[in-house]
Amino acid sequence: MALLEVEGLTRHFAIRRPLLERLLHRGQDSVIKAVECLSFSLEAGEILGIVGESGCGKSTTCNLLAKLDEPCSGHIRFDGRDVGELSGAALRQFRAAVQMIFQDPFDSLNPRFRVFDLVAEAPRALGLMGERELTAAVHATLDLVGLRAADYVERYPHQMSGGERQRVGIASALIVKPRLVIADEPISMLDVSIRASILDLLRDLSQRLQFSCIYISHDLSILANICDRVMVMYLGQQVEIGSPADIVRRPQHPYTRALVAAVPVPDPHYRRPPIRIKGDLARPVDPPPGCRFAPRCLHTVEACRRDVPPARAFGPQHLAACHVAPIEPEEDGRSVECPV
C-alpha cells in the first residue's frame, strides 16, 4: 500500500475586493486557485520531485501535505488514514511522521539555540522522550547526518557553514523518525561544490531509514538526479508525472517540453532545442476553465479551453494531462519561435 495517497487535492484563496467596491456593489472578489485537483501517490522509500515555476503551487502543496493548511476539497491519505480527520494522539503521531526541511539554513535555524536544542526541539515539543533518551537520540542523529556530535552540540548556527547548517536542519527533521520528509529547495542556498553531498545524504538516508521524500525545486536537473519520479506543475495544475527519464527524454505535455528545453546545460557545445511557448507566466488568479497552459500553448484545440485535460498514461509510470499529446515532432515544427 502506498504511504501517501493524494486525491483531488484543491486549495483556493479568496481575495476580497476593497471595502468601497463592495459597498458600491462594484467588481467581484477574486480567487487564487493555488492548487487544483492534484492526485498522486507515494510509495514507502520513494523520492518524488515537484518542479514548476513561481506560483505553480509547489509550496501550497507542501503546506497541505504537512497539514499546515487545510484543503478546500480532496483527500490526503497517510498510511491509509484520512489526514483531515486526524485529531488527538493520532494527529500528534502524524506531526512526528511528517517532517520538513527548509530552503534557507541561514534563516530556518534559531540563532539563539545551540545545535543540541535545535535538533531536540521537535521531540521536546511533541513530548516524545525523556531528557536522557533525548541526549542519546540527538547524538545518534547528528552522527547519522555526518556531523560528529561531540564537536557540534554546543555550537550556534553562526559558527557553522551553510552545508553544516543544512545537515543540522536534516537532523532536526529526522530525529523523530519521520516516514515522510518534505524538502523545499534544500540546497538552493548552498554552494555548488557541496550540493551533491547533501543530495547524497538525503538519498542514502531515505533508503537506510526507509522514509519517503517529496523534494520541491525549480531546478529540473537536480530533481532528475535525485528523484525516482518527477511531477511537473503549472499554475496549480498537475501537468505531467513520470520517471526522470520520462520527463527529460520523453516529455509529452507542451509545457514540460518547454521547461526541459529551457534548462541550462553546463556544456558549451550543447545546442538548445527551440522553446515553443508564447506569452508570459500568469498568476493563478481567476484562471480560465480548461487547461491553464492553453493561453501559452501552440497546440491548443477547442477542448483545451473548455475541459481540464485528464491525466493519460504514456508509459508504466508516465502520466500527462494534455488533450493533444502525443504531439508528433513534425507537427511541432509548424509552431513559431516565441517573441522574446
Residue span binding other proteins (CB under 8 A) among the ranges 28-36, 287-295, 317-325, 332-340: 332-340
Residues 172-231 that bind other proteins (CB under 8 A): 191-200, 218-222, 224-225
Smallest gap from Cβ 266 to other proteins, in A, equals 4
Q: What is the largest CA-CA distance in the chain?
A: 69
The phi, psi pair for 100, rounded to 5°, reads -120, 150
Q: Which residues, including other chains, have CB under 8 Å from residue 204's CB and lie 6 or more apart? A: none
Smallest gap from Cβ 226 to other proteins, in A, equals 9
**What would the grid cell of residue 283 be?**
498568476
Distance separating alpha carbons of residues 66 and 100, to the nearest angstrom? 8
Q: Which H or E element spans position 31?
A: strand 30-42
DSSP 217: E
Smallest gap from Cβ 219 to other proteins, in A, equals 8
One-letter-per-residue 3-state SS of 100-150: EECCCCCCCCCCCCCHHHHHHHHHHHCCCCCHHHHHHHHHHHHHHCCCCHH
Instruction: Give 217's strand partners.
Output: 51
Number of residues this chain uses to bind other proteins (CB under 8 A): 45
Note whether 269 binds other proteins by CB under 8 A. yes
Member of 19, 23, 336, 340 binding other proteins (CB under 8 A): 340
Distance separating alpha carbons of residues 49 and 43, to the nearest angstrom? 13
Residue span binding other proteins (CB under 8 A) among the ranges 62-70, 79-87, 104-112, 267-275: 267-275
Smallest gap from Cβ 227 to other proteins, in A, equals 11
Smallest gap from Cβ 162 to other proteins, in A, equals 8
Distance separating alpha carbons of residues 336 and 136, to the nearest angstrom? 62
Member of 20, 80, 130, 267 binding other proteins (CB under 8 A): 267
Residues 56-75 that bind other proteins (CB under 8 A): none
Member of 5, 7, 43, 53 binding other proteins (CB under 8 A): 53
Smallest gap from Cβ 86 to other proteins, in A, equals 35
Interface residue list for other proteins (CB under 8 A): 53-54, 161, 163, 191-200, 218-222, 224-225, 244-245, 248, 258-270, 272, 275, 277, 280-281, 338-340
